C-alpha cells in the first residue's frame, strides 16, 4: 500500500523491452556514426588535435560521449517515470470509490495552502482520481446541507476531474448524514447506467465501496446510520486546529422593548479562536455608515452589541467586522464577517375579529403588547356576507382573521385565520366522517355558520339538524368536558402556554387537515389544531371561549382566567401577524427555499439578489411565490413592477460553520505537542482522521519534465558545442 513504486508496466514482458531500450541506444550510438563527411585541406592538424585529446583518454571519452550519457539519462528518466515512483501516500483502494466533498461555508476558510479548503480538497481528489486504475469506478458527491451527485460512477478519469473542478463553494451549512444516505443509496445499486454508453452495468450488490470524505469536520457525529457496504476509511480533515475566526452569528432588528416606535439592531459576534479578541462591528444602512461599536469577546465565546436605529425606516442594514480585528485574529472565513438585515416599512398588522360579541376575547386582545402587532378590528359576523369584506379578504389585506363562532361565507380569505368553535371551510371535507348523532348525542353541534349562533352550542343542545348550506359530509364531533392530556409545547403558538387546570365544558373535536398538527390533545381527540393552507395557516380551537346567546354571554371554559389565555393570544398574534410582518426581516439560511410573503397579487415578482441579479418569481397555483436561489448570503429585494414590495436577507448564522478550527482528538499523552484531528463517528463506526494525505505524491511528472529538460540540454550541447 505504501510501496515506493507503482508499476505502470502491467504485463511483465514489457520489462525486458524496457531493459533493451538503453542497449538499443548504446548500439545506435556506436553504429550510427553517420558522420557528415567534410573535405578539409588537411586532416594533419585535426589528427594532431585528436591525438592530443586522446592522451587523457578516459575522461576525454566521457566528455566526448556526453551526448550518449545524456541520452541514456533521458531514457532512464523515462523508464523511471513509468515505474511511477512516489511517496507519502496510500494508493487508492477498492474497486468502487465515492468521493464526498464538503462544499459548505466553512470550506471557504483560507487556512490551507491552496486558495481555500475546498480547493485543497479538490486537489486531493484530483490527485486520487489520477491514481485510478482503469477498472476502478468512482463517483463524486458534493455535500453541504444537502448532498448532490456531481458525477455518477464512472471510470472515466477526465469526467471525474471535470466534475470535481465544477464543485463550487456554497454558503450552506453542513449535514454529513445527507451525503451518507446518498452514498449509501448509491453504494449498492443493482445497476448503474453509464451515461455515455447508456449501458446498464451491473455493479453487484455485495461489493464494498470505499468512501472518502473530504471535510473540515464541522458537523455533528452521525448517529443512527448504518454504513453497510460503505467503508469510510478516509476522513480527510482539511484546515488547521488553531485557525482563528471572528464571525457575526446573529443580526436582527426588533422594536425597542421600552419604546415601541423605535427599532434596534442586535448583532452577536462570536470569537472562534484561542485568544480573547476585540472586534469592531460597523453598521451601515443602505451602504451609509451608521455606527460602530467595539466589543470584547473572550475566547470561544460570543458577545452581543445593540445599535439604535433612529430614523431607519426601511432598507438594507449591514453589519461587518472591521478589518483590523480580523487581521489580528487571522480570520480564516470571510463569509461570516458580514451580516445583513432587511428593515421593512413598519406597517402594523391588520387583524380582524369577527365575533357575535365576546367580551373575554376582546378584552384579552386589547392589551398594549398585542396592539403593538397591529390594529384589531372587530366586526359582527354579518359583515361576512358583504361584498366589501369579501374583496378585502380576497386581497389579503388582513394578516389574521379570527372567526369566533362563525365561518367565512364562500371561500377562505387570503390570510391566516383562527377559528374558535367552528371549522374552516375546507376542513369540513377532510374531517373524519363520523356517524351522525352518535350514541351519547353529546354534540352534533354543527357550526353556527353565518347565523350568529342561534343554534346554541350549549351543552345538551343536541340538535342534530345540519346546516342547510353545508354539504352532507360535515359531521363534527362534539364532546363534553374533554380533559386535556397533551399539548405540542414546541410549537410557537403554545410557547409558555400552560393548560394544566383548564376546564372546558364542551368542545368540537378538530382533527387537523392534511399537513396539520395537533396542538392540544384531549381525552376525546384533538381540540386545538393548526394546518397550512396555500401559504397561510389556519388554527382551530374546538371550543368557544364564551358563547354568546340570547344577548347574554356565557363562558364555555375557565381558560380566560388563566395567564395562559392572553399568552396564547399573544403567541397567535406574534406567530401570525408578526411572522408576516417581520418574518421577512428575519434571516434565512443560505440555500433554503423561501416562500415570499407579500401583499401583492401580481402574477410574477422580481427578486434582486445581493449581486444585483434580477430573477423573476412566478406565482404558484396556490398563490405563493417560491424563491429558491438563496445561495448567496446578502440582502434581497422583492420588487413588484419596480416597486420595492418587501425585503429579506440571507445570512450564514451557523456557529458550526463559523468555527473553522479543526476538532482535535482527545490526547492520551499530554506531552504530545502534535494534536491530531478528531475522527468522525458514524453510527458505531469510528472513522479516524487521516493525518497523512491519502493522495500519493507522484514523481512521474517531474521526472518527465526533467527528461524534457535533459533533452533540451542535449540539443543545446549538440548545437552549441559546449561542455560544462
Partner 1 sequence: MSQLERMELVSRKIFRGRMKGERRSKRKGQSVEFADFRNYVAGDDLRTLDWNLYARLDKLIVKLFLEEEDLHFYTLIDSSPSMGFGDPTKLQYAKQLAAALGFIGLIRSDRVVIESLGQTVRQRGPVLRGRRSVWRMLDTLNAMEPTETVSLAEGVKRFCLRNQGKGIVVLISDLMDKEGYEAALRYLVARRVDVYVMHILSQEEIDPDVKGDLKLVDCEDQDMAEITVSAPLLARYKKTLDAFTRGAQDFCSRRGMHYLLAHNQLPVKDLMSNYLRRRGLVR
Residues that bind partner 1 in the complex, under the rule CB under 8 A: 33-50, 52-53, 60, 63-64, 718-719, 721-723
The DSSP element (H or E) to which 177 belongs, if any, is helix 176-187
Quickly count: other Cβ atoms within 10 Å of residue 88's Cβ: 11
Cell of 60: 576525454
CB distance 239 to 117 below 8 Å: yes
Cell of 334: 470571510
Q: In the complex with partner 1, which residue's Cβ is closer, 15 or 718?
A: 718
Quickly count: other Cβ atoms within 10 Å of residue 164's Cβ: 23
Cα 536 to the center of its chain, rounded Å: 24
Q: In the complex with partner 1, which residue's Cβ is closer, 53 or 299?
A: 53
Cβ contacts of 626-631, under 8 Å, gap ≥ 24: 626/593, 626/594, 626/595, 626/596, 627/593, 627/594, 627/595, 627/596, 628/593, 628/594, 630/588, 630/589, 630/590, 630/591, 630/592, 630/593, 630/594, 631/170, 631/171, 631/172, 631/590, 631/591
Torsion of CA 427, 429, 435, 438, to 10 degrees: 30
51: three-class secondary structure by DSSP:
helix
Quote the CA–CA distance of 543 and 440 in Å, as a whole number.
18
CB distance 183 to 230 below 8 Å: yes
| Beta bridge pairs of residue 200 | 193
| Beta bridge pairs of residue 595 | 626
Quote the CA–CA distance of 592 and 582 in Å, as a whole number.
18
Q: In the complex with partner 1, which residue's Cβ is closer, 49 or 286?
A: 49
Q: In the complex with partner 1, which residue's Cβ is closer, 5 or 715?
A: 715
Report in angstroms how near the CB of residue 167 gets to partner 1 at its nearest.
54
Report in angstroms how near the CB of residue 56 gets to partner 1 at its nearest.
11
CB distance 446 to 470 below 8 Å: yes
CB distance 342 to 633 below 8 Å: no
CB distance 508 to 466 below 8 Å: no
Report in angstroms how near the CB of residue 77 gets to partner 1 at its nearest.
23
Q: What is the DSSP string of 146-188?
A: SEEEEEEEE--HHHHHHHHHH---------HHHHHHHHHHHHS
Quote the CA–CA distance of 363 and 352 in Å, as a whole number.
14
Quickly count: other Cβ atoms within 10 Å of residue 341's Cβ: 27
Q: In the complex with partner 1, which residue's Cβ is closer, 87 or 718?
A: 718
Q: What is the DSSP string of 630-692?
A: --S-EEEEEEETTEEEEEEEE----HHHH--SPPBPPPS-TT--SPPBP-EEETTEEE-B-SS
Residue 557 DSSP class: B
Q: In the complex with partner 1, which residue's Cβ is closer, 64 or 324?
A: 64
Q: In the complex with partner 1, which residue's Cβ is closer, 13 or 723?
A: 723
Report in angstroms how near the CB of residue 33 gets to partner 1 at its nearest.
7
- What are the φ/ψ torsions at residue 188 (nearest 5 degrees)? -125, 55
Q: In the complex with partner 1, which residue's Cβ is closer, 52 or 207?
A: 52
Quote the CA–CA distance of 408 and 381 in Å, as a whole number.
9
Q: In the complex with partner 1, which residue's Cβ is closer, 49 or 348?
A: 49
Report in angstroms how near the CB of residue 22 gets to partner 1 at its nearest.
20
Task: Find cell 428593515 and name the residue.
Answer: 343
CB distance 391 to 440 below 8 Å: no
Alpha carbons within 13 angstroms on the beta-carbon side of residue 340 total 26
Task: Find cell 393570544 and name the residue.
Answer: 569
Report in angstroms how near the CB of residue 69 gets to partner 1 at its nearest.
13
Q: In the complex with partner 1, which residue's Cβ is closer, 55 or 621?
A: 55
269: three-class secondary structure by DSSP:
strand
Quote the CA–CA distance of 89 and 582 in Å, as a whole number.
54
Q: In the complex with partner 1, which residue's Cβ is closer, 43 or 593?
A: 43
Helix axis angle, 44-55 relative to 57-64, nearest 10°? 110
* CA-based nearest residue to 174, from 208, 147, 151: 147
Using alpha carbons only, what angle is made at residue 301 by residues 298 and 307, rounded to the nearest 5 degrees? 90
* CA-based nearest residue to 428, from 480, 468, 461, 472: 472
Q: In the complex with partner 1, which residue's Cβ is closer, 40 or 621?
A: 40
CB distance 398 to 351 below 8 Å: yes
Amino acid at each position: 500500500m505504501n510501496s515506493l513504486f507503482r508499476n505502470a508496466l502491467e504485463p511483465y514482458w514489457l520489462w525486458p523491452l524496457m531493459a533493451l531500450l538503453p542497449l538499443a541506444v548504446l548500439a545506435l550510438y556506436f553504429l550510427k556514426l553517420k558522420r557528415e563527411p567534410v573535405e578539409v585541406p588537411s586532416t594533419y592538424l585535426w589528427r594532431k588535435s585528436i591525438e592530443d585529446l586522446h592522451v587523457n583518454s578516459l575522461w576525454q571519452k566521457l566528455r566526448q560521449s556526453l551526448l550518449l550519457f545524456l541520452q541514456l539519462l533521458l531514457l532512464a528518466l523515462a523508464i523511471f517515470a513509468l515505474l511511477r515512483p512516489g511517496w507519502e501516500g496510500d494508493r487508492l483502494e477498492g474497486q468502487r470509490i465515492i468521493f464526498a466533498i464538503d462544499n459548505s461555508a466553512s470550506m471557504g476558510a483560507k487556512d490551507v495552502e491552496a486558495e481555500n479548503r475546498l480547493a485543497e480538497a479538490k486537489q486531493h481528489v484530483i490527485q486520487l482520481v489520477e491514481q485510478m486504475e482503469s477498472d476502478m469506478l468512482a463517483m463524486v458527491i458534493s455535500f453541504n446541507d444537502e448532498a448532490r451527485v456531481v458525477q455518477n460512477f464512472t471510470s472515466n478519469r477526465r469526467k471525474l476531474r471535470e466534475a470535481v473542478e465544477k464543485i463550487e463553494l456554497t454558503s450552506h451549512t453542513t449535514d454529513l448524514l445527507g451525503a451518507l444516505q446518498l452514498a449509501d443509496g448509491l453504494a449498492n445499486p443493482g445497476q448503474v447506467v453509464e451515461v455515455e454508453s447508456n449501458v446498464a452495468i451491473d455493479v453487484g450488490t455485495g461489493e464494498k465501496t470505499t468512501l472518502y470524505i473530504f471535510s473540515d469536520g464541522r458537523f455533528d457525529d452521525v448517529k443512527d446510520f448504518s454504513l453497510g457496504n460503505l467503508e469510510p476509511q478516509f476522513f480527510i480533515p482539511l484546515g488547521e486546529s488553531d485557525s482563528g475566526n471572528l464571525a457575526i452569528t446573529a443580526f436582527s432588528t426588533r422594536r425597542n422593548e421600552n419604546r415601541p416606535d423605535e427599532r434596534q439592531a442586535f448583532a452577536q459576534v462570536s470569537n472562534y479562536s484561542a485568544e480573547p479578541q476585540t472586534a469592531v462591528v460597523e453598521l451601515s444602512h443602505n451602504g451609509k455608515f451608521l455606527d460602530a461599536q467595539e466589543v470584547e469577546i473572550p475566547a470561544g465565546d460570543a458577545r452581543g452589541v445593540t445599535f439604535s436605529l433612529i430614523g431607519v425606516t426601511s432598507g438594507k442594514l449591514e453589519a461587518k467586522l472591521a478589518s483590523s480585528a480580523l487581521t489580528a485574529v487571522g480570520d480564516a472565513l470571510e463569509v461570516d464577517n458580514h451580516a445583513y438585515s432587511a428593515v421593512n416599512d413598519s406597517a402594523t398588522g391588520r387583524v380582524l375579529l369577527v365575533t357575535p360579541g365576546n367580551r373575554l376575547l376582546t378584552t384579552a386582545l386589547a392589551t398594549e403588547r398585542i396592539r403593538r402587532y397591529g390594529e384589531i378590528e372587530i366586526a359582527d359576523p354579518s359583515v361576512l356576507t358583504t361584498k366589501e369584506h369579501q374583496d378585502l379578504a380576497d386581497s389579503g389585506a388582513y394578516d389574521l382573521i379570527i372567526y369566533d363562532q362563525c365561518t367565512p361565507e364562500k371561500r377562505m380569505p387570503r390570510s391566516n385565520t383562527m377559528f374558535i368553535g367552528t371549522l374552516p371551510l375546507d376542513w369540513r371535507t377532510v374531517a373524519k366522517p363520523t356517524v351522525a348523532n352518535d350514541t351519547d348525542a353529546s354534540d352534533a353541534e354543527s357550526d353556527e355558520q353565518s347565523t350568529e349562533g342561534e343554534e346554541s352550542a350549549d351543552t345538551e343542545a343536541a340538535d342534530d339538524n345540519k346546516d342547510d348550506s353545508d354539504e352532507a359530509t360535515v359531521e363534527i364531533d362534539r364532546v363534553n368536558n374533554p380533559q386535556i392530556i397533551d399539548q405540542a409545547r414546541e410549537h410557537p403558538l403554545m410557547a409558555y402556554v400552560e393548560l394544566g387546570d383548564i376546564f372546558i365544558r364542551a368542545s368540537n373535536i378538530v382533527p387537523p387537515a392534511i399537513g396539520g398538527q395537533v396542538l392540544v390533545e384531549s381525552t376525546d381527540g384533538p381540540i386545538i389544531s393548526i394546518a397550512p393552507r396555500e401559504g397561510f395557516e389556519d388554527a382551530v380551537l374546538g371550543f368557544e371561549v364564551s358563547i354568546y346567546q340570547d344577548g347574554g354571554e356565557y363562558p364555555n371554559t375557565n381558560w380566560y382566567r388563566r395567564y395562559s389565555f392572553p399568552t396564547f393570544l399573544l403567541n397567535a398574534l406574534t406567530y401570525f401577524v408578526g411572522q408576516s410582518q417581520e418574518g421577512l426581516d428575519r434571516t434565512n439560511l443560505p440555500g433554503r427555499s423561501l416562500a415570499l410573503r407579500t401583499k401583492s397579487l401580481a402574477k410574477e415578482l422580481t427578486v434582486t439578489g445581493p449581486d444585483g441579479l434580477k430573477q423573476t418569481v412566478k406565482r404558484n397555483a396556490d398563490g405563493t411565490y417560491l424563491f429558491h436561489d438563496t445561495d448567496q448570503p446578502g440582502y434581497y429585494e422583492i420588487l413588484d413592477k419596480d416597486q420595492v414590495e418587501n425585503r429579506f436577507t440571507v445570512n450564514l448564522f451557523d456557529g458550526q460553520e463559523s468555527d473553522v478550527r479543526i476538532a482535535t482528538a482527545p490526547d492520551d499523552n499530554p506531552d504530545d505537542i502534535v494534536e491530531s484531528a478528531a475522527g468522525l463517528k458514524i453510527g458505531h463506526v469510528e472513522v479516524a482522521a487521516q493525518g497523512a494525505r491519502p493522495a500519493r505524491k507522484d514523481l512521474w511528472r517531474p521526472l518527465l519534465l526533467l527528461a524534457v529538460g535533459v533533452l533540451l540540454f542535449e540539443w543545446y550541447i549538440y548545437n552549441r558545442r559546449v561542455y560544462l
